[in-house]
Amino acid sequence: MLRFDFLEARNLRHAIALLQRHGNDSRVVAGSTDFLVRWRQGFWRPAAVVNLKGIASLGRISFSPRNGLRLGALATVQSVESNAHIRRRYQALATGATSFAGVQVRNLATIGGNVCNASPAGDTLPALLAFDAQCTIAGPQGTRTLPLTEFFLGPGRTALEQGEVLTQLTLPAPMPRTGSLYIKHSPRGAMDIATVGVASVVTLEEDGRTCRDARIALGAVGPTPFRATEAENLLRGRTLTPGLLGQAAQAAEAAAKPIDDVRGSAGYRRAMVEALTTRTLQHALQMASGRAVTFEEQRRLAVQTAF
Amino acid sequence: MNKQPLAITVNGHERQIFVAPYYSLLDTLRDELRLTGTKKGCDEGDCGACTVILDGKPVTSCLVLAMSAQGSDVTTVEGLATPDALHPVQQAFIERGGLQCGYCTPGLIMAAVGLLQDNPRPSAEEVKFAIGGNLCRCTGYTKVVEAILLAADRMASQC
Amino acid sequence: MATFKVLEQNNPRVDAWEKVTGRATYAGDVYLPGMLMCKTLGSSRSHARIVSIDTSRAQALPGVRAVITGVDFPEIRFGSGALKDRYIMARDKVYYIGEPVAAVAAEDEITAEEALALIDVQYEDLEPVVDPLTALRAGSPSVHPDLESYEGYGFTIEGGNICTLLDADRGDVEQAFQDADHVFEDTFRSQGINQGFLEPMACVANVEANGRLTVWASTQGPYQVRAQLASVLDMPLSNIKVIPMELGGGFGAKLRLAFEAFPSLLSMKTGSPVKLINNREEVFTQNGPRHPVTNYLKTGVNKDGTIVSREAYTIFDVGAYLGAGPNSGIGHGLGAYDIPNFRLRSYAAYTNKVYVGSYRASGVADMTFAVESHMDMIAHNLGMDPLDFRLKNAIKEGDTAVNGSRVPRNGLFECLAAVKERLGLPRELPEGHGVGIALCEWRSGTGPSTASISVNEDGTVSLLTGSVDISGSDTSLASIAAESLGIAMDQVIVARRDTDLAPFTGPSGGSRIVYSQGKAVELAAEDARNKLLALAADRLGVPQDALACADGSVYVQDNPPQSLTLGQLAAMSVTSRSGPIVGNASLSTLPYAPVFSAQAAEVQVDRDTGQVKLTRYVQCQDVGVAINPMAVEGQLEGGAVQGIGRALTEDMQFDPETGAVRNPSFASYLMPLALDLPELETLLVRVPSEDGPFGARAVAEPPGFGPPAAIANAIYDAVGVRIRELPLSGERVLAALRGEGNDVAYIGDELQELKRAEGLAV
Ligand SMILES: Cc1cc2nc3c(=O)[nH]c(=O)nc-3n(C[C@H](O)[C@H](O)[C@H](O)COP(=O)(O)OP(=O)(O)OC[C@H]3O[C@@H](n4cnc5c(N)ncnc54)[C@H](O)[C@@H]3O)c2cc1C
Ligand code: FES
Ligand code: FES
């Protein structure tokens, strides 16, 4: 049966109740950008969809130095891209969002949908990982939180249990002297799935030279997006020289486990991990050292892959 | 799965219709309301031909479930011109040769209208970014970008 | 340049208003009362015998009105040329994944789709052949074992899967190679390409009360659809009316019968109108794209840079059926150069893939990539400037073209000069940046063309032609009529046509509309003007040659106030002895009129990623006269961007085991977006053609030929690596930069076998 029923969730409790009532035959929809495509392609065939879009409270974005960034799961990718706090403090997330599809899709797609869809190539995911995002999940048993690193289980597979809904992502406030960038490698400047995506976050000590913290996350080079922890460890507490960045990039490359597909061979993807890790680290470092980079420049860096 | 009631404002008219729960906004506009100006090029979000303005924002209507647009406000290409005058974007597309086969044109025009609402004075780069979700196989985009910049100029000097 | 009143002006398109308001009606916009929706089931096997098809469960689904399979059609093979190698729907065998095996008509689309899932097809697999080089080898499994029994079979070379051979020869090639100072050999490969039109194939078919079939179609060739439909339905051609609707892009893909037969037969079975719209995946998997082409070139050159001989072999894959026919690229194996001795061969092989369609001068872009890359490589090898090397060998007026015609006057040298000047060539660019050129060659298309112009009593004229509007051709035809008759553009009404109404015309494609169809309009306008002059001479009492026709009137040259308006004359004509004024023209072919274009790309190559960024694109084309400069530029820009996609990102990939299309969507078949492109610089040269309307030449195809070679040459200039395979992806460039490229395999040795079969000494 191709047809499905449309169920409007009035609030979170109602959504969970509907999901419980319809069980495995039902599926949550938010922006429905993944859903409708996969339904038409025959991959997903639910008997009913539970629409979350009407739950306005799930779409908020707020920032405070104490609580960090709170992203409601229904916040659209466009609202993430244009949020002033995110542009200022979480550049890699803003660039991830701006490199995403085209404006018409960004106006529909939600950040929660990007996370729950768990594509290895999801463009907001490396930045969310690199900023240590925590997931808030509501379900029949109440609410739980989970680090995003534990959320992804495989392509399209997540830690969500039957009847659960992702409600919020929380990102700690970055420390001072932090810079970050996401670069998406794809043949086209828009409307393209990442061949490789890399997000790097760099925080400097007060001396402006020593690395206090570095976080690197890779997309499209494994069954899930993931953190390149060995590469990060090479950088922490060290002075960031070009040579060291290069070593970290090689460590990231070594951590990548890409596959061959229509977008590129595994070997090419590995080479891209090295190139893009170096580049994202270089730019993140410059931004951490206080160099102002306008959002337009960041976008050019993020989507034009190299230029 | 019976059709369900949908209240939606389209091009300024409040409509009460019944649609199948699995229908997209695009199919609803075309099949139910016979507003066939909005085109289907892929039904996968990849071409932008189905772009409409939904609650103030350009979206690909093939990716919107009609029922999720309950109570929304939609503008399609048919809703731009008044009986006396074309919308400046439409006029500029004609004058600058921004169309050939015309199949992508309604979507490009709606993407442009969406851009100019938010950013009345875009640069050429911003225009290209705003139509980054629209495929056109005929024009090579040069004249499309020129047309949108011309419309922006005219609209900005009007107010 | 002659002065014009209408031509050479940027008049808006005649259909612009309808298109910007969403009122233009495409086939998919046709809704009829009681209309059913049709969906087709595609084969899941590449090569298999159909053991059985059980449609009973589908038939029983509520809302389903009819299900058809191949055996519901008359047992008639058809084809686009002489060879009839194909059934409209698979009967006993399937030849590629996606080939239609059944179709359903249901009350709505989702019911039709649900019904497809209930159709049970049993297959018995046969061994597929996917690679054309393998297919050509003796002993390969056969795609069409009974080929020789097909109607229209007449190939000169027997064996396996060879289905066409095109050839052209001149001089003594072997001797010339022996005598040459240098001989260069190269193999190039270009990828599978989709035409990428935005409007999927669509049609509505309806059996009218009188038994005639009406088809609202998305087509470039309504008369071709009518003829092929009549043949597969085994019904008189006169019982079919094809109404070509607004066309949302075709580029060659919509020249012939596509899927119109399915809703037609379903309409006959149900008595209701039936609509079919392809989804994008069906467009990619069922509707003839272009397959990868391997081009082998061998060139003999003397020390001074004079080319003396050329051998070119094209290995071409037609897929399961001859489809759009052989690859015409080989006819362009000399490029835009005068080469005294040549041997040109194009082999085509059947494979178990979707059959090929046409696309904007099929095969020529592939060949131009090969020839213009090869030219660059030779120039570098000889230490010559690439542009000088081209100038030295370029074909000139009075030379003999590859087809044996004398080359008439043309603007080749002017085009090269204009590009050279615009870029300031030769030019040194910073490290990582490079510039490359390509010279492109084509001809204006001809073919049967008709036009009829009637003058209305209000002074307007109605123009009727059978050609479908592509690329603004209606606007161009209206301009030609207006210019000829001395009236304004808005005084020309372009009639909506269908195959009942309009006189037979060849399809809209192959760069023939403005050149040939435009000529017919010019002649029809002349005919109408002569009739207007004759009538005016009679009524004004002056000799006809004392009169002139301009600004909507016929007047006495020595005494302009003595005049009659076109409206007055039209009104008088109704009761005149000679009758209402109608100008007609009908013609078949026009003489050879070449078209040349010079193109140049500037790129920046990222050494870490291999990614190529196009930073500048300049093209200059000899258009003869610009019927409408804005429209001409639009054609050149659009064409160049298609070529840029071919150069950099577009790549239809086929599974090497099954031949299935691996990337059947716009998400994975990457056509350029606005963001990917630099400002395009378009220059026009005007050397009027000898026979085209007002000197116009064809415009639409050459702009797409140049980008692959121009960009490949620019990459070489930038970073010193030569890429022989399209697309010029980051992955290929990086591999070449790192010296680990898996370059295109040289096929010189494979060719020995083919040459032996041709009876050549090897
Ligand atoms: C044309 C096109 C281009 C695209 N380009 C990109 C791109 O460049 N980069 C990129 O990363 N992605 C891209 N995508 C994929 C898609 O847009 C994103 O994954 C998007 O973020 C999904 O969000 P959504 O709200 O539309 O999700 P939906 O389609 O509504 O849902 C996606 C999945 O997540 C589940 N889900 C959604 N929200 C929740 C929730 N709150 N709790 C539990 N489960 C939930 C759904 O059940 C479903 O399984 C593209 C898609 C299309 C169609
Ligand atoms: S039809 Fe919606 S994006 Fe193509
Ligand atoms: S005008 Fe034809 S696709 Fe844009």
Determine contact: A153 vs chain C, CB below 8 A. no
Beta strands in C267-340 (DSSP E): 274-277, 293-301, 307-319
pLDDT digits over C202-224, tens only?
999 999 989 999 999 999 999 99
| Contact between chains at C110 and A191 (C-beta distance less than 8 A) | no
Average of per-residue pLDDT across A236-248:
97
Q: Which of A2, A189, A304 lies at the smallest CB-CB distance from C113?
A: A2
Structural domain spans, chain C: 36-126+201-277, 293-444+591-737, 446-587
Instruction: Say if ligand 2 is within 6 A of residue B60 CB.
Output: yes
The CATH code belonging to domain A178-303 is 3.30.390.50
Distance from CA of B142 to the nearest CA of C (A): 7
Average of per-residue pLDDT across C537-558:
96
Instruction: Say if ligand 3 is within 6 A of residue B141 CB.
Output: no
**How close is the Cα of B134 to the center of ligand 3, in Å?**
10
Same domain, B74 and B8: yes
Cα–Cα distance, C630 to B97 (Å, whole number): 6
Mutate which of B43, B59, B108 for ligand 2? The one with the most ligand atoms within 8 Å of its CB, which is B43
**How close is the Cα of A46 to the center of ligand 1, in Å?**
16
The pLDDT-based confidence of C1 (bands split at 50, 70, 90) is low
Instruction: Say if ligand 3 is within 6 A of residue B97 CB.
Output: no
Burial of residue C424 (number of CB atoms within 10 Å: 0-12, 13-18, 19+)? exposed
Average of per-residue pLDDT across A18-36:
96
Asked if residue A125 lies in contact with residue A215, where contact means CB atoms within 8 angstroms, the answer is no
Determine contact: C446 vs chain B, CB below 8 A. no
Cα–Cα distance, A176 to A285 (Å, whole number): 13
The answer to whether position B83 is within a domain reads no
Average of per-residue pLDDT across A19-47:
96
What pLDDT score does A306 carry? 37
Same domain, B8 and B71: yes
Q: Which of B18, B47, B129 to mutate to test the interface with A (most CBs of A within 10 A)?
A: B129
Give the total number of structural domains in chain B.
2
Q: Quick one: which atom of ligand 1 is closest to the CA of A38?
A: 29
Instruction: Say if ligand 3 is within 6 A of residue B49 CB.
Output: no
Low-confidence ranges of chain B (pLDDT < 50): none
The CATH architecture assigned to C293-444+591-737 reads 2-Layer Sandwich (3.30)
Same domain, B153 and B92: yes
What pLDDT score does C513 carry? 86
pLDDT surpassing 60 at residue A307: no
Determine contact: C29 vs chain B, CB below 8 A. yes
**Of C109-123, C282-296, C464-478, the least confident:** C464-478
Q: Which of A191, A268, A279 lies at the smallest CB-CB distance from C734?
A: A268
Quick one: fold of A5-51? Answer: 3.30.43
Spell out which residues of chain A touch residue C110, defining contact as CB-CB under 8 Å: 2-3
**How close is the Cα of A129 to the center of ligand 1, in Å?**
17
| Contact between chains at C609 and A305 (C-beta distance less than 8 A) | yes
Same domain, B38 and B56: yes
**How close is the Cα of B63 to the center of ligand 1, in Å?**
11
Same topology for domains C36-126+201-277 and C446-587, yes or no? no
* Chain pair A-B, CB pairs under 8 angstroms: 91
What pLDDT score does C3 carry? 87
CA distances from C225 to C68, C237, C416, C542 (A): 20, 10, 41, 50
Asked if residue C22 lies in contact with residue B78, where contact means CB atoms within 8 angstroms, the answer is yes
pLDDT digits over A191-235, tens only?
899 999 999 999 999 999 999 999 999 999 999 999 999 999 999
Residue A286 three-state SS? helix
**Tokens describing residue C560:** 């302009």
**Residue carrying structure tokens 């066309």:** C247
**Chain B CA closest to residue A303:** B129
Average of per-residue pLDDT across C63-88:
95
pLDDT digits over A75-90, tens only?
999 999 999 999 999 9
Percent of chain C topping pLDDT 90: 86
| A61-64/A26-29 β-pairing | unpaired
Distance from CA of B157 to the nearest CA of C (A): 22
Residues with CB under 6 Å of ligand 1 are A 27-35, 37, 52, 73, 77, 100-101, 105, 108-110, 112-114, 116-117, 122-123, 160, 165-166; B 45-46, 63
Q: Which CATH number fits domain C36-126+201-277: 3.40.50.1950, 3.40.50.150, 3.90.1170.50, 3.10.105.10?
A: 3.90.1170.50
**Of A3-7, C138-142, C659-663, the least confident:** C138-142
Rg of chain C's alpha carbons, rounded to an integer? Answer: 27
Instruction: Say if ligand 2 is within 6 A of residue B47 CB.
Output: yes
| Contact between chains at A188 and C673 (C-beta distance less than 8 A) | yes
The answer to whether position B54 is within a domain reads yes
Cα–Cα distance, A260 to A258 (Å, whole number): 7
Asked if residue C362 lies in contact with residue C323, where contact means CB atoms within 8 angstroms, the answer is no
Contact partners for chain A, using 3 or more CB pairs closer than 8 A, are B, C
Of B78, B105, B123, which residue is a domain's last? B78
Percent of chain A topping pLDDT 70: 99
Does residue B122 have a cis peptide bond before it, meaning omega lies within 30 degrees of 0? no
Cα–Cα distance, C337 to C375 (Å, whole number): 10
**Tokens describing residue C645:** 């996609």
Same domain, B135 and B73: no
Sequence-ordered alpha helix ranges (H) in C61-188 = 109-116, 132-136, 173-179
pLDDT surpassing 80 at residue A110: yes
Distance from CA of B7 to the nearest CA of C (A): 23
Domain limits, CATH 3.30.390.50, in chain A: 178-303
Instruction: Please report, in angstroms and rounded to a whole number, the separation of the first and last CA atoms in chain C.
Output: 54
Percent of chain C topping pLDDT 70: 99
Determine contact: C748 vs chain B, CB below 8 A. no
The CATH code belonging to domain A57-171 is 3.30.465.10
In the Cβ-directed half-sphere of C145, how many Cα atoms lie within 13 Å? 10
Cα–Cα distance, C460 to C482 (Å, whole number): 10
Per-chain mean pLDDT for chain C:
94
C176-C177-C182-C186 Cα dihedral, nearest 10 degrees: 130
Determine contact: B47 vs chain C, CB below 8 A. yes
What pLDDT score does A112 carry? 98
Cα–Cα distance, A179 to A259 (Å, whole number): 30
Residue type, C415: C
| Contact between chains at C631 and B97 (C-beta distance less than 8 A) | yes
Q: Which of B2, B18, B38, B63 to mutate to test the interface with A (most CBs of A within 10 A)?
A: B63
Instruction: Say if ligand 3 is within 6 A of residue B101 CB.
Output: yes
Cα–Cα distance, C392 to C415 (Å, whole number): 15
Same domain, B72 and B13: yes
Same domain, B50 and B103: no
**How close is the Cα of B141 to the center of ligand 3, in Å?**
9
pLDDT surpassing 60 at residue C110: yes
pTM of the model: 0.97
Q: What is the ipTM of this complex?
A: 0.98
Distance from CA of A115 to the nearest CA of B (A): 18
**Tokens describing residue C377:** 């490589």
Range of the domain at B68: 4-78
Report the CATH number at residue B63. Answer: 3.10.20.30
Distance from CA of A164 to the nearest CA of B (A): 21
Same domain, B111 and B136: yes
**In B, residues 49-68, which contact C (CB 8 Å cutoff)?**
49
pLDDT surpassing 90 at residue C594: yes
Q: What is the largest CA-CA distance in chain A?
A: 64
Cα–Cα distance, C164 to C153 (Å, whole number): 10
Average of per-residue pLDDT across A161-166:
97
The CATH code belonging to domain C446-587 is 3.30.365.10
Cα–Cα distance, C697 to C688 (Å, whole number): 7
Burial of residue C398 (number of CB atoms within 10 Å: 0-12, 13-18, 19+)? exposed
Report the CATH number at residue B131. Answer: 1.10.150.120
Instruction: Say if ligand 2 is within 6 A of residue B40 CB.
Output: yes
pLDDT surpassing 50 at residue C467: yes
**Tokens describing residue C28:** 């998919």
Spell out which residues of chain A touch residue C675, defining contact as CB-CB under 8 Å: 188-190, 303
At a CB cut-off of 8 Å and minimum separation 6, what does C305 contact? C379, C382, C384, C388, C389, C392, C393
Instruction: Say if ligand 2 is within 6 A of residue B135 CB.
Output: no
Q: Which of C64, C110, C604, C611 to mutate to test the interface with A (most CBs of A within 10 A)?
A: C611
**How close is the Cα of B105 to the center of ligand 3, in Å?**
6
